Amino acid sequence: MSTRIGIDAGGTLTKIAYWDEKKEMSFRSFLSSDFKAVKDWLDTNHSLASICLTGGRAEQLKKYLSSKNEIPYIVEFDATMNGVMYQLKEDVISSDSAIIANIGTGTSIHIMQGDSHSRLGGTGVGGGTLVGLGSALTGIMNYKDIIKLSNEGKRNSIDILVSDIYQHNKLPIKGSLTASNFGGVALKSDEARNSSDLLAGVQGIIGEVVATLCIQAADAHLLEDIIYIGSTLEENKLLQEIIESYTILKQKKPIFLEKHGYSGAIGALLENK
């Protein structure tokens, strides 16, 4: 069967968006460390497909798919924004101007104003941090296991809250805010903690760092909406909750799209005409 396919080859995951037999958009993902699985899936299911690539590892994947000639490429930021705007329309979400955080292996932050967009900056904190720091602290390396265990953890003994510092004193700011990520490991050394708690703490670092940077960007550009996307949000309820609560606390509007991690792949698919 011949079809059109958009592929976003990221640092951790390779995401695929394509039109199925019912002309509905479908999705697949593979580890970017296993391009053979990507090629095998394409050869088995879509050997005659027209492909458009994007993502940081697109050129590496293109060379691996050497039998497929003239594979076009779309700049990752353009593909991502196209995918975001498509999803906003599909999900009937009204947002003409917004800050966009793409939380992949690291995090890239953009501003969208109408049909135009530009990159504002970013941070190395992202999904790679979750896997790298999480495995260093607990020895657990499987991404899905890290996500599952972190959702079972509590950050009480991991972080220092504002209320921990200002005990019996008048609080200058909301007491539930984090005063120090992982500061509680030293300050609360007598409290019991396990791998789930440590992993929840890592999620806290990622969520609060990303949300803080986006909130500052939104303030600087007088915007209210912040759209959070990226593969690190896929099936990651805890990270979404951390980002959502902190964004709302700072009086901004968090928006989560249904296909968090596939915006780049969707944009590549839409470009593949």
Confidence at residue 175, expressed as pLDDT on a 0 to 100 scale: 63
Confidence at residue 177, expressed as pLDDT on a 0 to 100 scale: 83
Confidence at residue 2, expressed as pLDDT on a 0 to 100 scale: 56
Give 90's Cβ-side CA count (13 Å radius).
13
Per-position pLDDT tens, the chain of length 273: 458 899 999 888 899 999 988 888 999 999 899 999 999 999 998 888 899 999 999 999 998 887 656 789 999 989 999 999 999 988 878 888 999 999 999 999 999 988 788 999 999 999 999 999 999 999 999 999 999 999 999 998 898 888 777 776 766 667 678 889 999 998 877 788 999 999 999 999 999 999 999 999 999 999 999 999 999 998 899 999 999 999 999 999 999 998 989 999 999 999 876
Confidence at residue 38, expressed as pLDDT on a 0 to 100 scale: 94
Q: Is 191 a catalytic residue?
A: no
Predicted structure pTM score? 0.89
Which residue has 């209210």 as its token pair? 224
Distance separating alpha carbons of residues 262 and 174, to the nearest angstrom: 36
First to last CA, the chain: 17
Contacts of 69 (CB under 8 A, 6+ apart): none
Look at residue 28 and give its three-state secondary structure: strand
Token pair of 140 as six digits: 């657990």
Catalytic residue among 76, 208, 234, 271: 76
Distance separating alpha carbons of residues 167 and 90, to the nearest angstrom: 48
Confidence at residue 66, expressed as pLDDT on a 0 to 100 scale: 74
**Helical H segments across 109-160, by residue range:** 127-138, 143-150
Q: Name the DSSP letter for residue 177.
A: S
Confidence at residue 100, expressed as pLDDT on a 0 to 100 scale: 96
Instruction: Provide the sign of the torsion angle of the four alpha carbons 86, 54, 265, 148, taken in this order.
Output: negative
